[in-house]
Chain A
Amino acid sequence: GESVGLHLPTLSVQEGDNSIINCAYSNSASDYFIWYKQESGKGPQFIIDIRSNMDKRQGQRVTVLLNKTVKHLSLQIAATQPGDSAVYFCAENNRNYGGSQGNLIFGKGTKLSVKP
């Protein structure tokens, strides 16, 4: 059958504005979450992570918020720059998959476009 490409949510922001990218995760038992950035032709690049015993974690220009009640994760990028244009993925660690680590389960991604 014909394969259908993922319809990626798209977020378009003006350079200098703040960006908020949202993600709903699936497993209430997941205890570790990561945001990755993937530019065209490259592998995912680690941005920031957060454990389930935290609600918020800040990095350089980025903040991750975790709401375990509604299983929601968000990535905030301050003063968005053209170089931030990429697809952003959230990932959760599924410890139920066996072993001490399990594997990462990725969201479908959000495409961020920054207008100069």
Chain B
Amino acid sequence: KAGVTQTPRYLIKTRGQQVTLSCSPISGHRSVSWYQQTPGQGLQFLFEYFSETQRNKGNFPGRFSGRQFSNSRSEMNVSTLELGDSALYLCASSWLDRQETQYFGPGTRLLVL
């Protein structure tokens, strides 16, 4: 079974731009969570989607948003990029009835210049 895939793997943007990252969960998984990983803050929860609905949200500004499609694929969007948004963005998926066991993708490395 294929793992969680994320595209693109690397991205360079400039301040003020916006970016969309994509995540395809493991087949059969319906929950998708997003995390931001930085050297300064470690791994921080952004939001979680289940059946196209945002179920939980972390403590991030409204510039960070996401959505989930009917096939469970998810996208996250960051608008008006800031230098501090440079990070590794990780997507994790889990099954309906084993939600806590989250399986991570390789991440998208975003660099904001």
- List chain A positions with a Cβ less than 8 A from chain B: 3-6, 32, 34, 36, 41-46, 49, 89, 91, 93, 97-109
Contact = CB atoms under 8 A, between A and B. Distances in A.
B42 A49 contact: no
B48 A103 contact: yes
Contacts of B107: 42-43
A92 to B, nearest CB: 10
Contacts of A91: 43
A3 B39 contact: yes
Contacts of A102: 56
Majority-rule SS of B interface residues: strand
B20 to A, nearest CB: 19
A103 B101 contact: no
A100 B96 CA distance: 11
Interface string B72-98: 000000000000100000101010000
Nearest to B33: A103
Contact of A106 (B39, B42, B100, B101): B42
Contact of A49 (B48, B100, B105): B100
A3 B83 CA distance: 11
24 contacts: A3-B40, A3-B84, A4-B40, A5-B40, A34-B101, A34-B102, A41-B106, A43-B4, A43-B90, A43-B92, A44-B90, A45-B104, A46-B103, A91-B43, A99-B48, A101-B99, A101-B100, A102-B56, A103-B48, A103-B56, A103-B58, A104-B100, A106-B42, A106-B43
Interface centre among A34, A44, A93 (most CB of B within 10 A): A44
